[in-house]
Amino acid sequence: MAKATVHVTLKTGVLDPQGKAIQNALENLGFSGIESVRQGKFIELDLAEADKAKAQTAVEGMCEKLLANTVIETYKIEVSD
């Protein structure tokens, strides 16, 4: 059984107003030196597939079809046992 984790984030250049609001809030709390904050999504999948390469391909399909909107987002997949 493989475990897959997917990080979905807005593409570079796509304005992230939520990230900006988080940055402002952190600065208001006194945290300094924050150059930027980008917010994204983290998705965990437990898969019946044991073959990591096959699991990777399957999750890529899921990202393209549903988990990410590739017009505005990029995704990063990590598969482990």
**Footprint of other proteins (CB under 8 A):** 14-15, 17-18, 21, 41, 65-67, 69, 71-72
Q: Which of 57, 69 has the CB closer to other proteins?
A: 69
Q: Which of 41, 54 has the CB closer to other proteins?
A: 41
Between the CA of residue 34 and those of 42, 49, 50, what are the distances in Å? Answer: 22, 40, 41
**Count of CB atoms situated within 10 Å of the CB of 32:** 6
d(CA 68, CA 33): 30
At its nearest, how many Å lie between other proteins and the CB of residue 20? 9
Q: Which of 21, 53 has the CB closer to other proteins?
A: 21
